[in-house]
Structure 1
Amino acid sequence: MPESKPRRKNKPKSQQSQSAHSIDKELPVWYKPVMFGLMLLGLVWIMTYYISQTLFPIPNIGGWNIVIGFGIAMVGFFMTTGWK
């Protein structure tokens, strides 16, 4: 039976530097405040809608205010996937 070729243990230098650089990249300073700010803004948007009995934040769109609030909060939650 023929033998298989041995595997290469080390990646070429060009691939090592690219993959290590993208993994170790620091987040910008604004990333965490924006992430937490969006989550809180979405929560405050929904709370304002319920506390004001549908008069605020935007009175003419009704229940879409909940969708907007959850959408804003979800953008913040999706940003947590990039948080290191």
Structure 2
Amino acid sequence: MNRIDIVYGGQQYSLAGRSIDSIQTEIDAAITTGKPYWLMVNSGGGRFEDAYLLIAPGIPFAVLNVKPEDGQDIDLDVDGVFGQDGL
């Protein structure tokens, strides 16, 4: 199953069963309206819980394609940056 990770506020969230294109389209449409938008994502390691991320101009976040088409996993925490509060 395809999984997309989102890094927001220094924390990692995920969306399963979605393509990166569909998420980008959803975010683009939300930003185009100029109104705040809440994107529902999964939070948690073993048992996922719904989390809502505020998407609005000026709020940084990253969308990561965890399982590319070649099927190889990407190690997202190679240098341990996801556990840090700051640089």
TM-score with structure 2 setting the length: 0.31
Higher percent of residues as helix: 1
> Which structure has the greater CA radius of gyration?
1
Higher percent of residues as strand: 2
TM-score with structure 1 setting the length: 0.32
